[in-house]
Amino acid sequence: MKVFPSGFRWGTATSSHQVEGHNTNNDWWLFEQQPGRIRCGHRSGAACEWWRRAEEDFDRMRGLHQNAHRLSLEWSRLEPEPGRYDGHAVQRYRAMLRGLHDRGIEPMVTLQHFTLPLWVARQGGWENPRIVGWFAAYVRRCAEWFGDLVGLWVPINEPNIVVALGYLDGRHPPGAHNPVRARRAVPNLLRAHAAAYHALHDIRPDARVGTAHNIRPFDPARPDAPQDRWIAGVYAQAFNWMWLDALQDGRAHSVLGHWHLPECAGTMDFVGVNYYTRDRVRFVPWRLWAGFVRRVPAPEAELSDGGYGEIYPEGLYRAVREAWRRYRRPVFVTENGLPDADDDVRPRFILEHLRALHRAIAEGVDVRGYYHWSLVDNFEWAEGWTLRFGLIALDPVTQRRTIRPSALLYAEICRTNGLPEGIDNVEGLSRMATKRR
């Protein structure tokens, strides 16, 4: 048995807009109404109906032996207009958080997971420096409302993805392809995190505040080519380390710019790593529109549904090890998963990634928990309902849930806090889990 540390958190992760349903007062809902923005014209709609029936899925978490869950609060529900707070939304979130505790599930709360209230988006969103104060005021309220129920906090989910997909690639709101706008957003995202960190610690001195940062290794497609090695390093710094460096020492530097942000220094109690895949990059000088690179999967690579990325378990080991080496903060794997509608790859994906994670722990990396993305199929942003990440399958029309074999596999790992030795194939562990049920 490859045993994980005592008290290890085994859970899943979700976000409000993807699961709650009918979040009509944020920028993502508006984005969904624009033709061509979402694959197949899909809408979030009722999503997974968590706003009225999340507890049913909490029961499923408990039945699958999970002891932790990462969820987000929807800013646009809690503060639908500037300075006006919705008491009903406060009470609903308190009920959800209590519901998790009642089932022996520890919540980790994200305060902003991609969506902005319409009133914030219409005033420039992350490009407007005033967002730092608006966000800090909202976070302070959340600390007062929910601090007795939450110990682990993430102010902003994946700020690097916000910039990459919202301001450079244009697939997320505000749908821009403009490095100047991206450069305006970067310091505001970092300052907003810092303001949230200080607000949470002011109200709840015992709070632990960290990140959920998308980390992906960038490797040269041709290791012997200096230009490929150079561009891989440029991307790794801009996408991965610039953001965390700023929370460590208050300085951010990359090709996007250089910032001195002293208020950000020391605002990271833990490093949350969201890991999905890696990029092998080849420098192509005439591909200006693609950032001078061509992404080249390894010839032998297995790819997940929808071309989402290369399945590369070694990348999780590399990501958590490097995060620990650089920052010496406890590490959580705050997201890890893949789209796999047939569930024919996910069981092996889970087992191989957890073996890689266990190896990092055995080498001294202080990893405190693993949150699989996701519990249930949900609205996958610009990909709509075309990518299925759930341990539990969902029909978004009928809301019918079906537990996938990978859920039973993961449940057995959660139950035993480890990976059984001598089982080198997923089918064996899945059979064991099914038999125990």
Q: What is the pLDDT of residues 322-370, one digit of tens each?
A: 999 999 999 999 999 999 999 999 999 999 999 999 999 999 999 999 9
The pLDDT confidence band at residue 420, using thresholds 50, 70 and 90, is confident
Instruction: Assess whether pLDDT exceeds 90 at residue 253.
Output: yes
Rounded CA-CA distance 419/414 in Å is 9
Using left for φ > 0, alpha for ψ between -120 and 50, and beta otherwise, residue 314 falls in alpha
The pLDDT confidence band at residue 421, using thresholds 50, 70 and 90, is confident
Full residue range of the structural domain in which residue 259 is found: 2-218+241-275+308-436
Domain membership of residue 230 (yes or no) is: no
Which two tokens mark 153?
A: 């906090």
Domain membership of residue 172 (yes or no) is: yes
Look at the chain and report how many structural domains it folds into: 1
Instruction: Assess whether pLDDT exceeds 80 at residue 191.
Output: yes
Q: What is the DSSP letter of 290?
A: G
Which two tokens mark 94?
A: 């308190």
Phi, psi (deg, nearest 5) at residue 170: 85, 10
Please report, rounded to a whole number, the percentage of residues in the chain having pLDDT higher than 90.
95
Rounded CA-CA distance 246/294 in Å is 28
List the single range of 26-30, 90-94, 287-291, 419-423 with lowest mean pLDDT: 419-423
Domain membership of residue 17 (yes or no) is: yes
pTM for the structure as a whole: 0.97
Long-range contacts of 242-251 (CB under 8 A, 24+ apart): 243/159, 243/160, 243/190, 243/211, 243/213, 244/211, 244/213, 244/268, 244/271, 244/323, 244/326, 244/327, 245/326, 246/190, 247/190, 247/193, 247/194, 247/211, 248/326, 248/327
Residue-wise pLDDT for 112-171, tens only, equals 999 999 999 999 999 999 999 999 999 999 999 999 999 999 999 999 999 999 999 999
CA dihedral 430, 432, 435, 437 (to 10 degrees): -70
Q: Is 94 helix (H, G, I), strand (E, B) or coil?
A: helix
Domain membership of residue 360 (yes or no) is: yes
* Upstream peptide bond of 174 is cis (omega within 30 degrees of 0): yes
138 close to 79: Cβ distance less than 8 angstroms: yes
Domain membership of residue 72 (yes or no) is: yes
Domain membership of residue 229 (yes or no) is: no
Rounded CA-CA distance 181/194 in Å is 21
**What is the structure's pLDDT at 289?**
84
Pure H helices in 125-178: 131-146, 159-163
Cβ atoms within 10 Å of 222's Cβ, excluding its own: 14
Mean pLDDT, residues 372-400 = 98
Residue-wise pLDDT for 75-97, tens only, equals 999 999 999 999 999 999 999 99
3-state DSSP helix/strand/coil % of the chain, to nearest 5:
45, 20, 35
Mean pLDDT, residues 371-384 = 98
Rounded CA-CA distance 427/243 in Å is 40
111 close to 75: Cβ distance less than 8 angstroms: yes
Which two tokens mark 213?
A: 């940062």
CATH of the domain at 20: 3.20.20.80
Mean pLDDT, residues 20-30 = 98
Domain membership of residue 290 (yes or no) is: no
Instruction: Assess whether pLDDT exceeds 60 at residue 437.
Output: no
Domain membership of residue 166 (yes or no) is: yes
End-to-end CA distance of the chain, in Å?
20
